[in-house]
Amino acid sequence: MPIIHHHISALRTALQPYRDQKNIEQSNLQRIALVPTMGNLHEGHLELVRIAKQHADIVVVSIFVNPTQFGAGEDFDSYPRTLDEDVAKLATVDADFVFAPSIDEMYPVLPPPTSVRAGAITAQLCGQSRLGHFDGVGIVVSKLFNIVQPDIAVFGQKDYQQLAIIKQLVRDLSYPIDIIGAPIVRANDGLALSSRNQYLSASERQIAPVLHQELQHLAHQLTSSKLSQQEADSLLAQTQTRINEAGFTVDYLEIKTDELNDITESAAFNTENKNLIILVAAWLGRARLLDNQLVAVNRPL
């Protein structure tokens, strides 16, 4: 069973022996991994822990519903808090420590007067409709990195924009941390696992896999023949129409490079070895679902 800590000082004290060993005896190097979560864990989270265990000796899982990344009218108050169940699940994948701080422990002053902003990369995709969301992600991830001081940290690729922002944060703030992006874990019907899937009604859950199916179909179209920018835009619009007609309300559906740059005619669908990514966010009832699909564009001109 993982050891639970609710206070920063207690977690630091618990991790210190591994740091001492690391400093004194390199032959017994102990690597520490961090898996940040907001709790209400599912199989996707557990897979992050399994990946962390492959790369580190000690795995710390944080469970903290972070108020600074929720906007007005979002589901902060109703977001499920299931600590006991989460700890029991983490025991099955051999997590070593759980860090479950209170809001007061993480933010002596709320909102915090200090901010961590990632610039232009936050002004697109989820950042357009969730203003300030990634500023909240930046401050909480920075704090967790400073508290745990991990050697590696594991994040899911379902939140692709968040993963890109965290990689940028590590680069720009010189954190000595390796960031691992874990592949999306899906249900048998293709729906990307998410804590918010439980907001879906039974009938909505039957519709939800359409999102992934449409991304797969679009990815196939993008790689099956040479396309102009205009043709690709047309395919994108047709896909969005079909998703909306299935019962979703699309927030965004976009094609970017895998570094989240915009596609241009000169560096688009006819360029060798140019990896693209299709990204979508769509509402289905109360649930805002995210998904993405990588597209390997390696056709010769």
Residues annotated as catalytic are 45
Determine whether the annotation assigns residue 185 to a binding site: yes
- Count the neighbouring beta carbons within 10 Å of the beta carbon of residue 148: 23
The answer to whether 40 and 46 have CB atoms below 8 angstroms apart is no
Determine whether the annotation assigns residue 220 to a binding site: no
Determine whether the annotation assigns residue 193 to a binding site: yes
Determine whether the annotation assigns residue 44 to a binding site: yes
Determine whether the annotation assigns residue 69 to a binding site: yes
Determine whether the annotation assigns residue 195 to a binding site: yes
Determine whether the annotation assigns residue 157 to a binding site: yes
The DSSP bridge partners found for residue 99 are: 5, 62
Determine whether the annotation assigns residue 216 to a binding site: no
CA–CA distance, 32 with 153 (Å, rounded to integer): 9
Q: What are phi and psi of 132, to 5 degrees?
A: 85, -10
Determine whether the annotation assigns residue 16 to a binding site: no
CA–CA distance, 4 with 10 (Å, rounded to integer): 10
Determine whether the annotation assigns residue 159 to a binding site: yes
Determine whether the annotation assigns residue 39 to a binding site: yes
Q: What is the arrangement of strands in the sheet containing 274-284, beginning at the earlier edge strand?
A: 249-257, 274-284, 287-297
Q: What angle is formed at CA 82 by the lines to CA 165 and CA 186, rounded to 5 degrees?
A: 55
User: Of 85, 161, 166, 97, nearest to 126 (Cα)?
Assistant: 161
Determine whether the annotation assigns residue 158 to a binding site: yes
The answer to whether 130 and 28 have CB atoms below 8 angstroms apart is no
- CA torsion angle for 107, 113, 116, 119 (degrees, to 10)? 140
Determine whether the annotation assigns residue 156 to a binding site: yes
CA–CA distance, 194 with 74 (Å, rounded to integer): 16
DSSP 188-205: TTSPBP-GGGGGS-HHHH
The DSSP bridge partners found for residue 286 are: none
Determine whether the annotation assigns residue 242 to a binding site: no
In the annotated binding site for beta-alanine, the residues are 69
In the annotated binding site for (R)-pantoate, the residues are 69, 162
In the annotated binding site, the residues are 38-45, 69, 156-159, 162, 185, 193-196
In the annotated binding site for ATP, the residues are 38-45, 156-159, 185, 193-196
